[in-house]
């Protein structure tokens, strides 16, 4: 079952305002604060562990440290008859803005498999990936984007 969160548009749309045609990359704010341990459920304290440089969530019961890693976003740049496929976002963040078909990579799939799946889910478009197009690092929101074509 696929959940459609966007409208597809091969011409990139021609909305009247320039802000609605912006590619959807916006800040969602700083990283979330982890209040409970993912292993034992105990409360966490936030401090810099010995030998490290960043504040981490440390369990006050089992003393395990939670390391947050970036989320991997994958998608496709699809060109057909000199037009680029874009999707209009129907969810926040960036509701109403245009973006390439993309989403979070799942455990157990390659970047190419994830990009193909997300393109199908978001735009009902079947694609074969040929090569990498771009990698975007967005540290402010903890994401790395890999786009294929």
What is the structure's pLDDT at 32?
A: 65
Q: What is the pLDDT of residue 61?
A: 98
Tell me how far apart the alpha carbons of residues 131 and 56 are, in angstroms, rounded to a whole number: 37
Q: At 11, is the pLDDT very low, low, confident or very high (cuts 50, 70, 90)?
A: very low
pLDDT digits (tens, 9 = 90+) for 95-128: 999 999 999 999 999 999 999 999 999 999 999 9
CA atoms of 144 and 8, how far apart (whole Å) = 23
Domains of the chain in sequence order: 6-27+69-148 (3.90.79.10), 32-67 (2.20.70.10)
Q: Take residue 127 and report the two structure tokens written for it.
A: 């694609």
Residue 8 has a pLDDT of 52
Tally of CB atoms within 10 A around 73: 22
Q: Distance between CA 76 and CA 121 in Å, rounded?
A: 12
Instruction: Say yes or no to pLDDT of 16 above 70.
Output: no
Residue 68 CA to residue 76 CA, distance in Å, equals 26
């Amino acid at each position: 079952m696929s959940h459609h969160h966007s409208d597809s548009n091969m011409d990139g749309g021609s909305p009247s305002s320039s802000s609605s045609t912006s590619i959807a990359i916006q800040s969602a704010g700083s990283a979330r604060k982890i209040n409970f341990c993912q292993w034992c459920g105990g409360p966490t304290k936030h401090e810099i562990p010995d030998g490290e440089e960043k504040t981490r969530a440390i369990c006050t019961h089992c003393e395990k440290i939670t390391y947050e890693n970036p989320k991997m976003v994958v998608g496709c740049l699809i060109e057909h008859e000199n037009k680029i496929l874009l999707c209009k976002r129907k969810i926040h963040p960036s509701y109403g803005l245009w973006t390439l078909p993309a989403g979070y990579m799942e455990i157990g799939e390659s970047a190419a498999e994830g990009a193909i799946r997300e393109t199908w889910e978001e735009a009902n478009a079947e694609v074969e990936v040929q090569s990498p197009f771009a990698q975007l690092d967005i540290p402010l929101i903890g994401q790395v984007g890999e786009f294929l074509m």
